[in-house]
Amino acid sequence: MAPAPHRTHKQNRLTKRAQFLTVAGKGRRVAVHGLVLQALHRDDAAPARLGFTVTKKVGNAVVRNRTRRRLKEAARQHLRTHPVTGVDLVLIGRDTTRGRHFADLVDDLRRALTKVGCPSRGTPSPEGA
């Protein structure tokens, strides 16, 4: 059975601690109101690989998992229409992620991606405007 088209494929996920540490150590970090984004540019044109994390400071396991699911859904919605390539992304949930209006959370992700220099292919270029 093929995976659902809206899900992130396993090869497009960061799953190992070493991968998260590499992005944290060598990548760029941007904090916006609803999340923290770490990005490490790669030398390829493969789709972005994503990792999600929420620290224990945010709350218990139920709260952390809900926060992580909100981050995953925000990334899924934004990257479906504005895909990025050649980058590893780690989205870190904050205490404010949980109560943030969802449209604002998606906008926070868009702004963070722009700040770290990950223009999306779905965004019109300034030359075309």
For residue 61, give the CATH number of its domain. 3.30.230.10
In a domain, 83, yes or no: yes
The residues, any chain, with a CB within 8 Å of residue 91's CB and separated by 6 or more, are 35, 36, 37, 50, 51, 52, 53, 71, 75, 109
Work out the angle at residue 19's Cα, subtended by the Cα atoms of residues 15 and 22, and round it to the nearest 5 degrees: 160
- Total domain count, the chain: 1
* Residue at 68 is within a domain: yes
Q: Global pTM?
A: 0.83
Residues 55-105 have pLDDT tens digits of: 999 999 999 999 999 999 999 999 999 999 999 999 999 999 999 999 999
